[in-house]
Amino acid sequence: MNKTLFSVISIAIIAIVTYFIRSLAFIAFPKGKEIPAAVRRLSNTLPYGIMGLLVVYCLKDTSILSYPYGLPELISVAVVVILQIWRKNSLLSVLAGTVCYMILIRTVF
């Protein structure tokens, strides 16, 4: 099998599986059916848990005892927090924090 055919088949399989997984929610909870309390509770709490997990993951290897003492990370986290409080736009906050961090580690520190 040549590479092009393999790529097309792979992409088709990935698209079918993705479509099926995304449609499961509509199959499990059709319009008009009551959503279980556990699912509603998860939909309210899980985003905060995931953001907390991402913060821990991003900062886990930060060394505060040696130069630059975690300053790029601290400044970038402050940018994210300030933008999130001010604009309430997660995409903007994360993107700006990432850009800030990359600029700091490439030019300042």
How far is it, in rounded angstroms, from Cα 104 to Cα 71?
9
pLDDT for res 37: 92
pLDDT for res 86: 96
Question: What's at 96, amino acid-wise?
Answer: A
pLDDT for res 73: 95
- For the chain, give me the number of helices (H) and strands (E)? 4, 0
With beta carbons less than 8 A apart as the criterion, state whether 51 and 94 touch. no
Divide the 109 residues of the chain into consecutive groups of 10 and give the mean pLDDT of each group: 93 97 90 89 91 91 92 95 94 95 94
pLDDT for res 33: 86
